Structure 1
Amino acid sequence: MTIDQIIREGTSQVKTTFCSFQANIMSIENKREPYYNACKKCYSKVDMKEGVVECYKCKKIDVECNQRYILKLIVTDGEQSIKITIFDDSEMLIGCPVSEYMSMNGEKDMQSKFNRNLISCVGKKYEFYTKANKISEDDRAMGRWIAQYIERIDDVEHEDINKDDGCQNKRRKL
């Protein structure tokens, strides 16, 4: 299925649809900060003010939270481009669990190794397994996609940057 087919046909009949397509990563919109503070219960972004953590989705104050990866990508199948968000599979692209990445706060050399690994994904082809939502007119024009799973389909291997840094490489085999 192409991105254009998914945009035209995939969301026209139902509110939510599941599909897959192959596309190259064109750019990473948030490569400088690929994580957010998430509610442990619902995974929504939490608001932190003056030591108080609030989850608007759960409608609770002082919720437990942790960091979670989020990557916002622009991908293309050669004819059409869309924005797609990935969460857990960001670890595969970065090469390190978010807890390890966050523990390196201030160790710019280590974080930059993982950022280089992430940037090396630009131009590579992946299979994106997605859920498409019809949200608004603007979102439909560009597409609002969340990847449930991604898989590298290029033959080129990722550089294994985790040899000596103590970070467990738990990426899916590429």
Structure 2
Amino acid sequence: MAINEGGLLENQVGERLIVAITDVQKKEFQGKVQLHTSDISTIDINPACQQFHKLQKWFTTKKQKSLIEELLMIKMFENTQKINLEDVIQNRQSLKEGALYYFIGTVDMIENKSKPWYDACQNCTRSVIQTNDGVECRSCSDAQIVQRYRLTLNIILGTATATVTLFEDAATVYIGCSVNDYIQSTAEDEKSSKYFRDLETKSNKQYKFLIQLDERAQTQDNHLIVVAEAIERIQPKQKEETKQAVPYEKKRTKKNLKTNNAPIDKSIKIDSQKKGMTIT
């Protein structure tokens, strides 16, 4: 622990491990005090120890894993046919059942941003139910509980609407963190969570939604209910600044204007063939 708050602790360098942390948030989760870092947090350790290198490697690997998952999802869209949301609703019979398609839509609202997860069976990932004896999974005998993402989005595109559910991988890309990190960040106060605040800013943004036309894709009253296998944010087009060539034009000064408007002096004769003038 660092002592003498704000000091450099130079006299203790080499005697004990010093950890200096800035721009962190103190929170409490399940009765334990935790320090949460953010994008602007800084952690300095002197001297560097083996545990520090392990922590650094874990953090780097975690960020790379998240990036790889996002890149893999983007790759899934390359060989997939694009369709309109309205076509899925009104002309589904013309589409191949069980095939993958993607459509573009705007996020109108997040239905369950306060709790975008559910208690799942660790073995089969299905939702568990509460009983008098604890929890029970109706699909298997495993009663181990884990939290998994289940994020529900309301999507609009023109007059067509859809309810799109994002499960673990797609929701992780959309929210930007694992479900455990999200739960911990909102445990004390959800509005202090960076991820929760980011969710509020993602409304009115356009995304690509990769869907499979199977039994999970249902149409009711011009409204599609479907699960998205993958998502990709559509970045706003950058305005390209083009510089147009401005033709050169000699500006006439007030003096020139007066000269041009002055009466013609008969003593000056212009010879058009010689492109000059002679004085007579």
Q: Please state which band the TM-score falls in when normalised by the shorter chain.
A: 0.7 to 0.9
Write the letter of the residue equivalent to 1:54.
E
Superposed counterparts of 1:127-138, under 5 Å: 127-134=208-215
User: How far did residue 47 of structure 1 move?
Assistant: 1.2
The gaps in structure 1 that reach 5 residues or longer are: 157-174
Match of 1:143 in 2: 224
- The yes-or-no answer on 1:75 pairing with 2:184 is no
Deviates more, 1:146-155 or 1:84-93: 84-93
**How many aligned positions are there?**
152
Superposed counterparts of 1:1-174, under 5 Å: 1-10=83-92, 16-50=98-132, 52-58=134-140, 60=141, 62-87=142-167, 88-104=169-185, 106-108=187-189, 112-134=193-215, 139-141=218-220, 142-155=223-236
Q: Percent identity?
A: 30
Larger Rg: 2
**Hey, what's the Cα distance between the residues in 1 that align with 2:112 and 2:215?**
23
The structure carrying a bigger helix percent of its residues is 2
**Equivalent position SS for 2:173:** helix
The gaps in structure 2 that reach 5 residues or longer are: 1-82, 238-280
CA 1:71–1:154 in structure 2 vs 1: closer, same or farther (change >3 Å)? same
Is the Cα–Cα contact under 8 Å of residues 133 and 145 in structure 1 kept in the other structure?
no
Query: More relative contact order in 1 or in 2 (CA 8 Å, sep 6+)?
Result: 1
Is the Cα–Cα contact under 8 Å of residues 126 and 150 in structure 1 kept in the other structure?
yes
Write the letter of the residue equivalent to 1:119.
E
**Hey, what's the Cα distance between the residues in 2 that align with 1:135 and 1:34?**
19
**Equivalent position SS for 2:91:** helix
Q: Deviations over 1:67-125 (max 9, x none)?
A: 01111111122231111100122122222211112234532157632111112111001
Match of 1:159 in 2: none
Question: TM-score, normalized by length of structure 2?
Answer: 0.49
Write the letter of the residue equivalent to 1:143.
L
CA 1:99–1:155 in structure 2 vs 1: closer, same or farther (change >3 Å)? same
Match of 1:163 in 2: none
Compute the RMSD of aligned alpha carbons: 2.5
Deviates more, 1:120-129 or 1:96-105: 96-105
Write the letter of the residue equivalent to 2:91.
E
